[in-house]
Structure 1
Amino acid sequence: MKIHDLITETAPLAELCTRLAQSDFVCVDTEFMRENTFWPELCLIQIGNEEEAAAIDPMAPGIDLAPLLDLMCNNEDVLKIFHAGGQDVEIIFNLTGKTPHPIFDTQIAMMAISQNEQIGYANLVESWLGLTIDKGARFTDWGRRPLSERQIEYAIGDVTHLAKIFPKILKRLIKTGRGEWLDAEMEKLADPANYRTDPDTAWQRIRSAGRNPQVLGRLKALAAWREQEAQHKNIPRGRIMRDETLADIASHPPKSQADLAKVRGLSNAWKDNDIGKRLLKVLEKAEPMPADELPARERRGAPLGKEGALVADLLKLLLKIRSREIDVASRLLTRTDELELLAAGVRDLPMLQGWRFEVFGREALELVEGKLAFAVQRGKLLMTHIDTVHAQMREAQGEAAE
């Protein structure tokens, strides 16, 4: 594989992207800093295929990333490969308003061919290539220039290794017939809605009990205000105010600015400073949330009770057994809250639809309906159908009678 020198100019970047546009896939990774900023600060982009790879310096004076971003977001013929790519996709979305497409995430793919829920990149490389990655450069300051050769070598390794691993994962997916399991998961990753920072919807990320319109109206207004403050100052939203503090103020609004000093999570300065004044104005203008904006009521079946809780525990055991048997991450099949809803009588669930129903949902439903049982054979816990057990018992009784 050819490894290029660090690209700092537009012309070689455009030439590289022209060649990569002829590939079936490209592997992509980024290095960024966001500890002290609202927007992630892009410091390095790595891209490559099976033949060549390069690191691109987006901070280089005069460089135009348009050829790269065009390849990422407008070329549907090239599959873009990431590992745990959510934050990488977010950065590209911030630059273009679009997400890379089509997209493939090896961390998500591993859930379909192993029991790994969130395998890290180092473990991925070790398991597929038998290589140990030097993690020393991982937490370096990627914004400082010049970058060292060690940093660049480490960064490019993220895509050169991925270019070797992806075909192996794809081959395994084809062999197991599980590629279609991932289609919806990859589309979720590429959904632009995941990366929009709309102040009017910022409240939806904050945990708040209940559906009180007055409380939620204040929560929405405060969350939008905090989002705008953080974006304007380009600092993390938590530097303005933590989620718990914001939710507490929405539930128990202070009567005056002086009362802000009594709020847990705020400093004494809030009772006098300008940001405290702005917060009070937001609270004064907050309107109750309209009924059509209230969050949907949580889906619940009948109260579980002791017997229902036992059924839910059996479903969790079934999930462990099934995921072990077919070597798939249990989180890809269903979630714990879905199992509890099934035990409570709810049937409109993802696990009871499509491939999930065939792989797991059918047996989960049979367990709830009393058609499936657990058995121990040769010291191993297995699932068995009640009808099969009864047939075996009748057969055994018949042989004994003879």
Structure 2
Amino acid sequence: MKIHPLITTTDELTALCERLAKSDFIAVDTEFMRENTYWPELCLVQIANTEEAAAIDPLAEGIDLTPMFELLTNNEDVLKVFHAGGQDVEIIFNFTGRTPHPIFDTQIAMMAVSQSEQIGYSNLVEAWLGLTIDKGARFTDWSRRPLTERQIEYAIGDVTHLSKIFPKLLKRLIKTGRGEWLDQEMEKLADPEHYRNDPTEAWKRIKASGRNPQMLGRLKAIAEWRELEAQGKNLPRGRIARDETIADIASHPPKTQADLAKVRGLSQGWKDNEIGRRLMTAIAKAEPLSDDDLPPRAPRGAPLGKEGGLVADLLKLLLKIRAREIDAAARLLARNEELEMLAAGVRKNLAMLQGWRFETFGRDALNLVEGKLAFAVENGKLKMTRLEDVVIEEPPVSDEVAPEE
């Protein structure tokens, strides 16, 4: 495979993308920094096919990344292969408002051919190529220039390995016939709505107990305020205020700005500074959530009940058994929330009761809650048995008399 020097000009990038556009697939990875910023700073992009690989410097003076973004987001003929690509896709979306498509994620794909829930890249490379990756440059500062040869070599290795693993993994998927299992997951990864950052929706990411419309209305207003402050200052959300602080203020709103100094997580300066005034304005303008906007009641906890909790535990055991039997990740077949909803009597809008998931796991899950399946032990291993197939024999009679209690 040909490894190019670091690409720092638009002409070099254009020529590379024209060649890669003729490929069946390209492996893609990015290096970025986001510890101190709201928006991730793109520092390096690595791309490879089976013949060549290159690292692209987005921070190079005068470079125009348009050819690369066109290849990634507008070329439907080339499959874009990532590993754990959620953050990579997010960065591309931030630049273009579009996402790579069609897309393939090797971390997700491994869930269909092994019991790995979230296999790391190093373990993926070791499993498929028998190589050990040098992790020395993993936590480097990718924004500093110039980049060292070791940094560039490490970064390009991510896509050269991936370009070798993907064809092998694809063959395994074809052999097992599980390629269609991943269609929905890959489309979800490529869905632009997943990366669209709407400040009015930020409150949904914050844990808050209860469904009080007034409290949730304040939470929505405060979370939106924080999101806009963080975006405007390009600072992480937590640098403005932590989630726990936001939830606390929504539950116990301060009556005056001076009261902000008493809120855990805020400094004394909030009692008379500008950001504190803007926060108080957001609280004052907050309106209760409408019934339509309230989060749905989750069939968990008390609604599930003690017996329902036991049924959910049995379903989770069934899921573990089935995942082991077919050598697939349990989380790909069903989520714990779905199992609890099924145990609580929900039958509609559950992914596990649709399509291939129903055929692979959902039908047996239904049979279990309806009393048509039972657990059995065979050769020391748990398995599922249909009750109509079970023959219960009377235990042999012994001449010995059991001792009295």
Which TM-score tier does this pair reach, normalised by the shorter chain?
over 0.9
Are 1:361 and 2:356 an aligned pair?
no
Distance 1:209 1:21 in 2: 50
Distance 2:239 2:52 in 1: 41
Distance 1:215 1:301 in 2: 21
Aligned to 1:254: 254
1:352 alignment partner AA: L
| Unaligned segments of structure 1, at least 5 residues | 398-402
Q: Could you say if the C-alpha distance between residues 103 and 309 of structure 1 is closer, same or farther in structure 2, counting changes exceeding 3 Å? A: same
Distance 2:286 2:341 in 1: 35
Q: Residue 136 of structure 2 aligns to a residue in which SS?
A: helix
TM-score (normalizing by structure 1): 0.95
Aligned to 2:80: 80
Aligned to 1:287: 287
Aligned to 1:43: 43
2:130 alignment partner AA: G
Deviations 1:208-235 (A, max 9, x none): 2222221122111111111111111101
Q: Is the Cα–Cα contact under 8 Å of residues 301 and 345 in structure 1 kept in the other structure? A: no
Deviation at 1:300, TM superposition (A): 6.0
Question: Which one is further off, 102-111 or 380-389?
Answer: 380-389
Aligned to 2:220: 220
Distance 1:217 1:358 in 2: 42
Q: Could you say if the C-alpha distance between residues 175 and 366 of structure 1 is closer, same or farther in structure 2, counting changes exceeding 3 Å? A: same
1:165 alignment partner AA: I
Q: Is the Cα–Cα contact under 8 Å of residues 299 and 340 in structure 2 kept in the other structure? A: no
1:52 alignment partner AA: E
Aligned to 2:381: 380
1:232 alignment partner AA: G
1:205 alignment partner AA: R
Question: Which one is further off, 233-242 or 293-302?
Answer: 293-302
Q: Is the Cα–Cα contact under 8 Å of residues 69 and 92 in structure 2 kept in the other structure? A: yes
1:37 alignment partner AA: T
Deviation at 1:321, TM superposition (A): 0.7
Aligned to 1:400: none
Distance 1:216 1:307 in 2: 31
Are 1:263 and 2:263 an aligned pair?
yes
Distance 2:296 2:381 in 1: 43
Are 1:311 and 2:303 an aligned pair?
no
Q: Residue 135 of structure 1 aligns to a residue in which SS?
A: coil
Distance 1:199 1:306 in 2: 39
Deviation at 1:301, TM superposition (A): 10
Distance 1:283 1:37 in 2: 25
Q: Residue 281 of structure 1 aligns to a residue in which SS?
A: helix
Distance 2:120 2:360 in 1: 26
Q: Residue 166 of structure 1 aligns to a residue in which SS?
A: helix
Are 1:95 and 2:79 an aligned pair?
no
Q: Could you say if the C-alpha distance between residues 136 and 10 of structure 1 is closer, same or farther in structure 2, counting changes exceeding 3 Å? A: same
Q: Could you say if the C-alpha distance between residues 277 and 304 of structure 1 is closer, same or farther in structure 2, counting changes exceeding 3 Å? A: closer
Are 1:199 and 2:199 an aligned pair?
yes
Aligned to 2:402: none
Q: Residue 119 of structure 1 aligns to a residue in which SS?
A: coil
Deviation at 1:293, TM superposition (A): 2.4
Q: Residue 291 of structure 1 aligns to a residue in which SS?
A: coil
Q: Could you say if the C-alpha distance between residues 302 and 275 of structure 1 is closer, same or farther in structure 2, counting changes exceeding 3 Å? A: closer
Distance 2:301 2:236 in 1: 39
Q: Is the Cα–Cα contact under 8 Å of residues 6 and 57 in structure 2 kept in the other structure? A: yes
The structure that is helix-richer by fraction is: 1
1:381 alignment partner AA: L
Deviation at 1:306, TM superposition (A): 3.3
TM-score (normalizing by structure 2): 0.94
1:386 alignment partner AA: L
Q: Is the Cα–Cα contact under 8 Å of residues 302 and 344 in structure 1 kept in the other structure? A: no
- Within a 5 Å distance, the mapping from 1:48-67 to structure 2 comes to 48-67=48-67
Deviation at 1:274, TM superposition (A): 1.3
Deviations 1:237-291 (A, max 9, x none): 1100011111111111001111111111111111121111111111112222233
